[in-house]
Amino acid sequence: MEERQSAVTKRENAALHPLLLLREVARNFWAVLLAAVILGCCGYVFKEASFTPMYQTHTTLVVMQGGSSSVYSNRTAANTLASNLSKLFNGELIRRTIAEELNVDRVDGTISAETISETNLVEVVVTSDDPRMAFQILKAAMGHYNDLGSRSLGNISISVLRPASVPTAPMNYSGSRGFAKRAALVGAALMMALLAVMAFLRDTVKSENEVEEKLDTKLLTVVHHENKAKTLKELFKKNKRGLLITSPTTGFLYVETLKKLRARVEYQMKRTGAKVIMVTSVSENEGKSTIAANLALAMSRKYKNVLLVDGDLKKPALHKLLDYREQDFVTFAELLRGKSTLAKTLLVDPKRHLSALLNRKAEEDSLELLRSERMKQLIDAARSQMDVVIIDTPPMMVSPDSESIAEVADAAILVVRQDAVPVRIINDTIDVLNASHAELLGCVLNNYRITEFSEQVGYGYGGRYGYGVKYGYGRTGYGTALGYGSKIGYGSKLGYGSRLGYGSKLGYGAGDGKEEEA
């Protein structure tokens, strides 16, 4: 095997895949929300802890000069008084006197006096971080201003218009809520950035091009994401139906992709003479059972005798996909134990033109059953009597059962889910399959979603596997060694109208074939 490209080189050539990054953020929106809540709460607590509330109390004085009723004289006197009171109250003498009276070390607050505009009213304001202290400071200051300031007041008389009171609420606002909102937005932004960076740095198969760049196998086809639930009712339904190409609600692109996979597997089967094909994956939830079931159904549209075997005895799923969950049937495990015959175990579906050996529950002795002589005899008999045998196997990383099946199967297909499993682990699995009896035909990039804004989903000519490209007219296409008029092309020994072509012994409409359904 050739030496793999270094991680540094791969990272230099890595694409950004903006849509994939956006989906990663959307899929982990709970983490974004959690980060926003945590950072918002922390910001609120921090702001509240560092906030010092300030309280203000004030009294309003009416200033008269020598009993004069002149507005101008009284305004002048009020301005003079305000200036003198500000100097007086902030002087060291009166502040020390107030501190002694209140029995404190120092006066912790500010005292100011200001004239109310266009009036002879003076407002004395005391600000402190303690509401009671603010009231006491003002009360003490007003009690001592006659004794200490009589010489500076002259003939100015003062009367109290509004007495002071203990403040009940702080004059300033902490801004904790606004700060918490900003902190929450920062937390959400940081988490989204972190998720995007992690998705970018994750060494997985993210696009079709990366299969050939990163994996030690070839790409058979790309299966785009298909929604199982077509309506809200189906979305919340408990027992959801499997995604099968025989369902009328399954998308055209999905059905055609599975036909394309069938065609490529057929080509490999003819090349190698393989009949028994195992479908596996590296880890769980990559969609191998769905691919196995649909490949068997696609094969059954062309071949008479197609057998689908649920070899995943640890976590059988085909009975659910094929809608046998409510039916009573003899399991494949009972057949391997010798408790039943093949005739009683084999499930034949005439509508789907498919035979199946299914299981219902997990078997503890699955490895012993799959390594048994009965298993080898069954596979040998199926190889001789069936046109195609598809075996759904457990994930390679989860169970050694797949390696046992790989020793009796002819070929293997590896299902790789987009952006799910590290490339290193996938290549290790490929090495295991390459070392087994089963020949690895290639991989299926499953559950694929577009990664670029310019990328389009479609099916037709001119694409990667369309006419005029790698598998179209060209090197392996029409007009070449495998094309029209060539050795294995139309009108040739293995082409249309020939021994193994359309209308021939093993082709469409021949003795051992049948016309493909639309």
Instruction: Indicate if the pLDDT at residue 395 is higher than 70.
Output: yes
Instruction: Indicate if the pLDDT at residue 275 is higher than 70.
Output: yes
Q: For the chain, what percent of residues have pLDDT higher than 90?
A: 47
Burial-class residue 106 by CB neighbours within 10 Å (0-12, 13-18, 19+).
Answer: exposed
Same-domain pairing of 258 and 370 = yes
Same-domain pairing of 266 and 413 = yes
Q: What is the CATH number of the domain that holds 348?
A: 3.40.50.300
Contacts of 310 (CB under 8 A, 6+ apart): 316, 317, 318, 319, 332, 356, 357, 358, 359, 392
Which single residue is written with the structure tokens 């009671």? 132
Q: Which tokens hold the place of 483?
A: 């094309």
User: Is beta strand 347-349 parallel, antiparallel or unpaired with respect to 354-357?
Assistant: antiparallel
Residue at 313 is within a domain: yes
Same-domain pairing of 151 and 259 = no
Q: In Å, what is the CA distance from 4 to each residue of 212, 373, 419, 427, 441?
A: 12, 39, 19, 10, 20
| Three-state DSSP class for residue 94 | helix
Residue at 169 is within a domain: no
Interatomic CA distance for residues 187 and 193, integer angstroms: 10
Strand partners, 216: none
Same-domain pairing of 437 and 410 = yes
User: Where a domain ends, among 448, 465, 491?
Assistant: 448
Q: What is the mean pLDDT of residues 441-463?
A: 74
Residue at 330 is within a domain: yes
Same-domain pairing of 251 and 400 = yes
pLDDT value of position 73:
64
Q: What is the CATH number of the domain that holds 63?
A: 3.30.70.1130
Q: Which residue in 352, 302, 312 sits closest to 332, CA to CA?
A: 312
Same-domain pairing of 499 and 410 = no
Total tally of structural domains belonging to the chain: 4
Average pLDDT, the chain: 81
Angle at 128 (CA atoms; ends 125, 130), nearest 5 degrees: 130
Q: Are 333 and 369 in contact (CB under 8 A)?
A: yes
pLDDT value of position 510:
36
Same-domain pairing of 292 and 438 = yes
Same-domain pairing of 253 and 228 = yes
Interatomic CA distance for residues 396 and 282, integer angstroms: 5
Residue at 261 is within a domain: yes
- Residue 40 belongs to what domain range? 7-51+174-201
Interatomic CA distance for residues 482 and 488, integer angstroms: 5
Residue at 68 is within a domain: yes
**Tell me: the pLDDT tens digits for 121-149?**
888 899 998 888 889 888 888 877 655 54
Same-domain pairing of 146 and 62 = yes
Residue at 1 is within a domain: no
Q: How confident is the model at residue 81 (pLDDT cuts 50, 70, 90)?
A: confident
Same-domain pairing of 60 and 47 = no
Q: What is the mean pLDDT of residues 288-292?
A: 95
Residue at 461 is within a domain: no
Same-domain pairing of 288 and 429 = yes
Rounded to two decimals, the pTM is 0.70
Angle at 156 (CA atoms; ends 153, 162), nearest 5 degrees: 105
Strand order through the sheet with 411-417: 219-224, 439-448, 411-417, 276-281, 388-392, 306-310, 354-357, 347-349
